[in-house]
Amino acid sequence: MRRIKFKDNGEEHNFWQNYTDLMSGFLIVFIIASLVAYNSYRGFVELYYGVGVTEANINDIVVNAKLYKQIKEFQEAQKQLQSKYFAYSPKYNRFECTVDVLFKPEDPTIPERNKAELIAAGKELEGIIRKFVTTTDVAFKVIIEGRAAQKVGTNPDLAHRNYAETLSYNRARNLKNLWLSNGILTNIESLHGEIFVSGSGYGGQGRHTHKTDKNSRDPEGLNKTFIIQIVPYITYNKK
């Protein structure tokens, strides 16, 4: 076999021997890189298995991730929604009914003068839900929370607080019944939703106070209202 002569160093080298050495070096580098990649892969596999991700449910997780993105988009869209009868609170991620309902003291009955506006508000609420129903895998909980105003300067005892919770619950229930009797949210199941009624009495987050409503003559009176929350959640089940 012919040898290649390099005049610079006066030595003769076998081309194939050098080629073999070079390929051997590449092979060693490839093996090391493969081992590093395999260890990283094994680490990710152990991590995923540690949080419950397996070959059996990986598709479910991908689908749920997409549904979660839809829910986040819904929540962002709520913030930009223009509503006549509901004011959106970004702090508490909820709607507050803006219809000024003046209940009689200790009476859960919805006044006749407020029913027309509350019916219109219910229709608007149903329209909000319809607008965002895009998939059968995302459902909604509609929570109607009744509230009560506490007399200024009083410190109600436990019995009176319990009574206020019952009173506010009955006010919320009467609102639900008013809507249902007027054909509002009667097909809530077809919209992938459920209605929940609650009463927080003198409690609840985001109540009107002198600190939050400095320009109001009677901020506590503003608590005689309804809080409406639309809560989306994932209902995806593997078929």
Mean pLDDT of 86-103: 78
74 inside domain: yes
72 and 100 part of one domain = yes
Total tally of structural domains belonging to the chain: 2
216: CATH: 3.30.1330.60
23 and 119 part of one domain = no
Predicted confidence (pLDDT) per residue in 30-62, tens digit: 777 766 665 555 554 554 555 454 555 445 555
107 and 33 part of one domain = no
121 and 196 part of one domain = yes
Predicted confidence (pLDDT) per residue in 134-191, tens digit: 655 677 888 999 888 887 677 888 898 899 999 999 999 999 999 999 999 998 888 8
DSSP, collapsed to helix, strand or coil, labels residue 203 as: coil
% of the chain beyond a pLDDT of 90: 18
The pairing of beta strand 94-97 with beta strand 86-89: antiparallel
209 inside domain: yes
60 inside domain: no
Q: Quote the tokens at residue 66.
A: 């997409």
Beta bridge partners of residue 97, listed in sequence order: 86
Burial (CB count <10 Å: 0-12, 13-18, 19+), residue 169: buried
30 and 131 part of one domain = no
* pTM, full prediction: 0.63
Predicted confidence (pLDDT) per residue in 16-27, tens digit: 666 676 777 777
Predicted confidence (pLDDT) per residue in 106-141, tens digit: 889 999 999 999 999 999 888 878 876 665 567 788
163 and 77 part of one domain = yes
| Domain coverage including residue 116 | 68-233
104 and 159 part of one domain = yes
Q: For the chain, what's the residue count?
A: 239
More reliable by pLDDT, 232 or 168: 168
Q: Give the C-alpha separation, 148 to 140, whole Å.
A: 26
